Amino acid sequence: MASLSFIIGIIGNIISILVFASPIGTFKGVVKKKSTENYKGLPYITTLLSTSLWTFYGILKPGGLLILTVNGAGAVLQFIYVTLFLIYAPRDIKVKSMKLVAILDVGFLGAVIAVTMLTIHGSLRLTFVGILCAALTIGMYAAPLAVMRTVIKTTSVEYMPFFLSFFLFLNAGVWSVYALLVKDIFIGVPNAIGFILGSAQLILYLVYKNKSSSAKSKDEMEAEEEEEEEEGSAHLVKTSIEMQDLDDHHDLKSTNRNLNKGRSLPKPSVSRQYSINKIMKTFSLHPYELNSGSLHENDVENGSTKDHP
């Protein structure tokens, strides 16, 4: 039985490490976008506290090496996640999250360790820390309920990572079996509850996954329709501009044609030139010359103004 529990414990360690490592992809996206978007920080904050207390429990429990190692590694990873969340979260969420970290992961954890080591003795230490660990593990498994509410409200599973939910479900099941083998109620009760909640998350994911895909397809179709409408409008505008350019070109050609006609008008005839010259010459004569009657017509034709005796 001891060897079987050890094997199950090793399997539990592997799965738990996968659980703790599953948010790596999520936080790669957070770092890339420099934003936590709609992700919740509470699951990582409570898991940091839980893994830290379970590490302390593994130190106190005889034969608790497997509990110590897996939760120690988990505490390190959760510390990294919480740090990244605080860096990239919006200002108001960042302030609230920092308060929670200060209260839970620093103040409460420090108080538990201090009280356990200074005021409690013997087997009561393990019982006291075990009860707290069980309560916090239930909180860890229940924390994604906030994300489940978001999924139901938005009908989208975008902010509920599938692998995190799946490995939480699997992890809770394995540790429930381990708890039965080693008869540890503090491990068994919270993981049994986690197994139920993990099942609920997977069911919710399956229910809303298709709806999310349908909504995404609808959005893509609407985007394509809008793009087609924009292209059609652009084509109409382009056609109108081209037609206007043709009209302007036609008007310009008509104007040039009229100007060319003006330049090619026939020159006035000789008789017409003579009449004009005669009129202009008449206006230039002195009044005496007009009255004398001595101006000959041939003089006007030759442009001459000689006086005749």
Instruction: Calculate mean pLDDT across residues 233-237.
Output: 51
The tens digit of pLDDT for each residue in 90-105 reads: 989 999 999 999 999 9
54-58, 106-110, 158-162, 292-296: segment of lowest average pLDDT:
292-296
The tens digit of pLDDT for each residue in 174-208 reads: 999 999 988 899 999 999 998 988 888 888 888 88
Task: Give this prediction's pTM.
Answer: 0.60
Average of per-residue pLDDT values in the chain: 75
More confident residue, 274 or 166: 166
Which distant-in-sequence residues (6+ apart) come within 8 Å of 66 by Cβ? 6, 9, 10, 12, 13, 58
Q: State residue 58's pLDDT score.
A: 93
Q: State residue 223's pLDDT score.
A: 54
In the chain, the percentage of residues whose pLDDT exceeds 70 is: 66
Q: State residue 290's pLDDT score.
A: 42
Instruction: Calculate mean pLDDT across residues 267-289.
Output: 47
pLDDT above 70 for 271? no
Instruction: Calculate mean pLDDT across residues 29-50.
Output: 86
Q: State residue 106's pLDDT score.
A: 95
Q: State residue 297's pLDDT score.
A: 44
